[in-house]
């Protein structure tokens, strides 16, 4: 992370309590289910990775500086960093990006330019990780927004144990297409929560 957009240095963050979204514990509210059923959007993966990172940084305060941006683009070229994107009227309207290593996905940031854009992206991401047999979805921190979607905090020791197990998994983010049918996604979500 960087202290700000203009900060020259980047540093590692290792919080005492780590935020995760249990892949079987994603909370899909009734209002989010209704929003998903509207079908006034489409879902894509890695269609505009750089655009997602730029949109995540497009706020008054951000930890994404030029160095972070360049490093994530390099990870994307190496097929390690990915974005799940919400498109509406041929415009990027929401998204989330992160890094996949083994069976762990490290969510980095998300954004919305439409109502529930980041929640829609997150719902599709969680479903994709679950179907692809990922074991860990790391959110670094638990924010009120993420907590409303099922995020929890766990101790560093518990996190490191989950991380070791997840890194051993032989799975790939790109092995399956991301589901685009919201009815299938909602049904699977109801079965696992």
- 2 falls within a domain: no
- For residue 49, give its domain range: 17-192
Q: How many CB atoms lie within 10 A of CB 157?
A: 9
Residue 85: closest CA among 74, 98, 73: 98
- For position 19, what pLDDT does the model report? 95
Burial 124-137 (b: 16+ CB within 10 A, else e): bbbbbbbbbebbbb
DSSP state of 41: S
The tens digit of pLDDT for each residue in 129-144 reads 999 999 999 998 899 9
- 3 falls within a domain: no
- 7 falls within a domain: no
- 83 falls within a domain: yes
Q: How many CA atoms lie within 13 A of 151 on its CB side?
A: 22
This prediction has a pTM of 0.91
- 8 falls within a domain: no
- 95 falls within a domain: yes
The structural domain count of the chain equals 1
Residue 48: which CATH number? 3.40.630.70
Alpha-carbon distance of 29 to 8, in angstroms, equals 40
Using the predicted structure, report yes or no on whether residue 70 has a pLDDT greater than 90.
no
């Amino acid at each position: 992370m960087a202290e700000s957009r203009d900060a020259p240095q980047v540093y590692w963050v290792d919080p005492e309590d780590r935020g995760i979204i249990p892949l079987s514990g994603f909370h899909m509210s009734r209002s989010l289910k209704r929003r998903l059923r509207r079908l006034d959007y489409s879902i894509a993966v890695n269609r505009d990775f750089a655009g997602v990172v730029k949109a995540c940084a497009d706020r008054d305060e951000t930890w994404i500086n030029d160095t972070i941006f360049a490093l994530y683009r390099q990870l994307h070229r190496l097929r390690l960093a990915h974005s799940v994107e919400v498109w509406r009227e041929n415009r990027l309207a929401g998204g989330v990006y992160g890094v996949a290593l083994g069976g762990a996905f490290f969510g980095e940031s998300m954004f919305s330019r439409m109502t529930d854009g980041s929640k829609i992206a997150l719902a599709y991401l969680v479903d994709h990780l679950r179907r692809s047999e990922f074991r860990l979805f790391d959110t670094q921190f638990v924010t009120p927004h993420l907590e409303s979607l099922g995020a929890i905090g766990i101790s560093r020791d518990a996190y490191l144990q989950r991380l070791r197990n997840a890194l051993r998994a032989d799975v790939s983010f790109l092995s399956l297409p991301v589901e685009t049918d919201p009815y299938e996604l909602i049904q699977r979500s109801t079965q696992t929560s």
